Structure 1
Amino acid sequence: MTELPWIEDAGKVAPKDARAMSKLFFDRLQVLEEGTHEYQYARNTLIEMNVSLVRYAASRFRNRGDDTEDIIQVGTIGLIKAIDRFDLSREVEFATFAVPYIVGEIKRFFRDTTWAVHVPRRLQELRVDLAKAKEELSVRLDRDPTVKELAAHLELDEEEVVEGLVASNGYVAGSLDTPTTEGESSSDHRSLADVLGETDPALETVDNLQTLAPLLRQLDPREREIVNMRFGLEMTQSQIGAELGVSQMHVSRLLARIVKQLRAGMCVEV
């Protein structure tokens, strides 16, 4: 059995050479035991040698606005699936077999992860056209094109271009960790989350007091006096009992009944 050649950096093998060498590696892969060191070497080398197929397929999606490396990583999953399912007996070039797997995986990625909000189909398609037009005009003009220039290039009304540009904001949701300012050091950077407002915890107290006020007015004068002494003046039950001339136990029962009544009223209001 012929030994597989050792390739130091399979990713640098030229595509033409990769096609020829892939046949050798696939031939050996079919007879090697899965899980062995030699099997893993053959499989990993096939992946590295054929990453150029992924880059070729990814170039078709360069106007989508996503990070190219992310697309390549997703496409590599398709490449691995193709390698695991390829059969030399089919007498078809591996590249012909693999590219549909790679493209399919990339399309699935866009289908499942893009457009953070619902946008009409025509605006989704317009976003792609705008991305291509901006790229072409930026090269030609050596600057970002204006809305008027984009409209003229695409033969559209300026209003349509503006609508398309606004809709593009729904392509990916912004991260709360996105920096909002630039400074000289990392300590100068603030994320969007740092400047967002938050609910004032005192609002709940104000809301509760507004709800409680009419319920307190429904109590008789003696009950209101007991509530004031206990929760306003922070007197103990014994002190309240001495003030009213009743036992501490009686004060405890009165407070329990009053609090239960107020709590029930608060729940009804909510």
Structure 2
Amino acid sequence: MTSARTPTRLPRAERAARTEALLDRLRSTSDEARREDLRRELVLVNRGVAEAVARRYRGRGIADDDLVQVAYVGLVKAVARFDPDRGHDLLTFAVPTVRGELTRHFRDHGWAVRPPRRIQELQTRLIRTAEDLAHELGREPTEAEVAEALDVSPEEYDEANRAWGCFAPRSLDAPLAPGGDPDSSSLGELLVDASGEDPLTASDARVALAPVVRALGERDRRIVYLRFFEDRSQAEIGEDIGVSQVQVSRLISRILDRMREELQG
């Protein structure tokens, strides 16, 4: 999906302007062949957004190229279903569809540890409901809105949501630095206490860490996931959660201190 006229990455303002111009032309024509051409151009203009969503799912056991192709499929579907006359922003409509396509792909192809069937079925409903609500509301729904629409408790919703992490378990001994630098620290090393004693064996750590991570707040869990599972830099994490790189460093130190305390009782 390439074009000599449309680079993969457009500046946000240019992408938004070109998208709106294409939507205006889409609204003003009833010729189906022309409308199809305009939809293809919309996909090309916004494919960088699909690639950005795909990058959030990297490092979970499915090849990056496959993730990008799945994200493109989601974008094509979203553009085909989008009604420009409803007045909603295209990307507000499209991003949940792209994300849903990716999570469906993981559900079907990416499990390393498959959760119980009831959780799998709830996840299927969760994807579909989140997409439907996004299209209806013109924005991404909150977790509470999705749970209410599903008629499930917050605990059931959280259980299904957490199970998306069962794709490609990461070793506590794996280097944290991108590229697998053997001199890089590992998550297990960062949990060693100030005396230098390792409070956990590698096998115990895998079991002990799960409830500690679950007990963290939503933002802290997000930081742990981005840093230790997706190998994101502090600058990338700051951009994701809306804080500075310095604040991310402090947050990571605080989170690790709290996890050490929990692990050591």
Report the TM-score, using the length of structure 1 for normalisation: 0.46
Question: Which structure exhibits the higher relative contact order, with contacts defined as CA atoms closer than 8 Å and separated by 6 or more residues?
Answer: 2
Greater radius of gyration (CA): 1
